[in-house]
Chains A and B, each alone.
Chain A
Amino acid sequence: MTESGTASPDGARRHARAMAGTRVEAMPTVPAGATALLPPGVPVEDMLWEETIAGGGYAAKELHRGARLRLTDLHGDACVSMLVFNAERPFERLNIADTVKVQWNAYLGPGSLLLSDMGRVLLSVLEDGAATHDTFCGASNAASNAQRYGSGDNHGPHPNARDRFLLATAKFGLGRRDIHPCVNWFKGTRIAEDGSIALQHGPFAPGREITLRADMNVIVVLANCPHRLDPRPGFCVSAVRASAWRGPPASADDPVRNATPEGQRAFLNVDEYFRR
């Protein structure tokens, strides 16, 4: 065998360092302000995060009150399962049942709030260019992917959203009992009168975007795996880009804040939480 170049620490170091600067689709932009895709009107120094998450991939980010989070379904086939925690006390977290019950509607769209189990707003939907989202079906797990694709192992070709959640939350010191019912962005469900669930799986036009606002200091966890009910052959999911930047918290006259009496009280509860 010829000299590999990595037989010595010096050679191995040169080999490792030569990789820097490689570009792949699924990677973070560091620093985030170096992005070539600065959202209109956002100063470079306010960029907090930009990362493209592969189909099957995951990411998590702490975002402070007022921050905007934009998710872009780059190729029209993303399925972004999301967990949300109060970053200061992660035992407060997204409560999907309260989210749909308090707002008297199960279909998320512009102006929808994601509510915590403490009667507060974690995130609100400012813009929704997709209109196909799901609050019912939750995340795939190893068993459901094994049933569907023949394997569901995290290290295999068909990673499942629950394992991705486990890894992402572990990096914030959280674990199995912190993984709660999630929301799925970009894949829609519609409920018939008999209760049956119909999936709007696409693929959709590339580039659909949703823009969320953090209304508390949150940890947002994203797992981009095929929807549980996706009937298509193959492991159908494509990359999503997450972009976040600093922004102002909801003002007193914010239209999302004031859209409903239930939402107004949820924002009042947020105000009380931050009254320190």
Chain B
Amino acid sequence: MTPSESAAHTAAPPALHGAIALDQVIAARAPWDHVVRRGQTLRIIDLEGNQAVDFLMYKLGDDAERYSAQDTMAAQGNIFLRAGTVLLSNEGNPMARVVGTAIPRHDTIGGACSCESNTLRYGFHTKSQHACVENFLIGAGHHGMGKRDIVSNINWFMNVPVEADGTLGIVDGISAPGLYVDLHAQMDLVAVISNCPQINNPCNGFNPTPVRVVIAG
């Protein structure tokens, strides 16, 4: 680790601007959803370290427009989400900007775990375990959405390298307790989170833990 990376890992999150509209802990394995208004900042804090936070967002009032991992990656010519990344919709509009984060990169290719994909990755014994798609269906369901509305998502704090021959995998995390990501909303949004319940790969250090969300401004 370089000195600058070390400093980033120990720095406290910067103060948020504006009034705190919400400050909440999402329990381990739980879903969460909330409206974030244009101009507000959504901060997500990895309280205990290496906790994947699966994230989707939709345009408030026209939720067929939603986050697009592929548009976001193509526009920046890079698969990793970093400070400065503009998160685009499926119609090419900026939805939010990553204005600050204490870790080098976040993932948007690994998708969300589901009961069904778990049966492929780990075996049929995992079908009844908690999974992110279940959380997304509950969170999006609060806003009248359903299965057709679940698309490729963001995995904050999750580490998915791609090797030269295309090999990829969810590997040990690069986050740590207290590290954060700040999103600045560019439009009124419905944000949906699955605090990932996965216990069969290292995305949560094999131990799902709570995270904290703050909305300010």
Contacts and interface: CB of A to CB of B under 8 A. Distances in A.
A98 B119 CA distance: 12
Contacts of B161: 193
B61 interface: no
Interface in A167-206: 175-182, 190-191, 193-197
Nearest to B162: A191
B207 interface: no
Contacts of B151: 180-181
Contacts of A126: none
Nearest to A105: B166
Contact of A229 (B77, B116, B147, B165): B77
A172 to B, nearest CB: 13
Nearest to A135: B109
> Which of B63, B90, B149: most chain A Cβ within 10 A?
B90
B116 A117 contact: yes
Main secondary structure of the interface of B (DSSP, over half): loop
Interface stretch (A18-26, A140-148, A211-219): A140-148
A117 B70 CA distance: 17
Interface string B41-82: 000000000000000000000011100111101110111100
A238 interface: no
A177 B148 contact: yes
A175 B79 CA distance: 27
A196 B162 CA distance: 10
A98 B148 contact: no
A118 B109 CA distance: 18
A197 B111 contact: no
A269 B119 contact: yes
A96 interface: yes
A117 B119 CA distance: 12
Interface residues of B, number: 49
B116 A119 contact: yes
B15 interface: no
Contact of B91 (A115, A117, A141): A141
> Which of A106, A182, A194: most chain B Cβ within 10 A?
A106
Contact of A95 (B65, B70, B111): B111
A262 interface: yes
Nearest to B63: A177
Given A96-B152, A142-B92, A228 B111 contact: no
A124 B181 CA distance: 38
A102 interface: yes
Contact of B162 (A98, A106, A262): A106
A228 B74 contact: yes
A139 interface: yes
B170 interface: yes
Contacts of B35: none
A92 to B, nearest CB: 8
Interface of A: 91, 95-98, 100-102, 104-107, 115, 117-120, 136-139, 141-144, 147, 162, 175-182, 190-191, 193-197, 228-229, 262-263, 265-266, 269
Closest 8 CB pairs of A and B: A97-B111, A138-B70, A143-B92, A107-B166, A119-B116, A195-B80, A176-B64, A137-B74
Given A136-B109, A193-B164, 8 more contacts: A96-B152, A97-B69, A97-B112, A106-B168, A136-B73, A144-B75, A177-B148, A196-B78
